[in-house]
Amino acid sequence: EIVLTQSPGTLSLSPGESATLSCRASQSVSSNYLAWYQQKPGQAPRLLIYGASSRATGIPDRFSGSGSGTDFTLTISRLEPEDFAVYYCQQYANSWTFGQGTKVDIK
């Protein structure tokens, strides 16, 4: 099983700042089969990024994904008030597993 470790656990930032979230895999994620989701309290997750760097339909371009192998990054430039949420990475190269999440909260 591929274990995904996200860091940091919590990121405290102000609107307008940039956020950098990390997702590290216990073994290489082939074909960059990695996705990112956003989840707000009481809501279902929303797909942001798939294939490590492709934005899902309707996702603003301030969200970007990068990385390969075992190290992946989600960057949110110019945080908007609606971006404060929990973010999960997920790999689909070998079964399906999620990271434990990074909470982005307002400083």
In the complex, the residues that contact other proteins under the rule CB under 8 A are: 33, 35, 37, 39, 43-47, 50, 56, 88, 90, 92, 95-101
Amino acid at 51: G
Q: Give the nearest distance from C-beta 71 to other proteins in angstroms.
A: 19
**14 vs 95, beta carbon nearer other proteins:** 95
Q: Write the CB contacts of 1 (distance below 8 Å, at least 6 apart in sequence).
A: 94, 95, 97
**18 vs 30, beta carbon nearer other proteins:** 30
Q: Is 94 exposed, middle or buried (0-12, 13-18, 19+ CB in 10 A)?
A: middle
**45 vs 73, beta carbon nearer other proteins:** 45
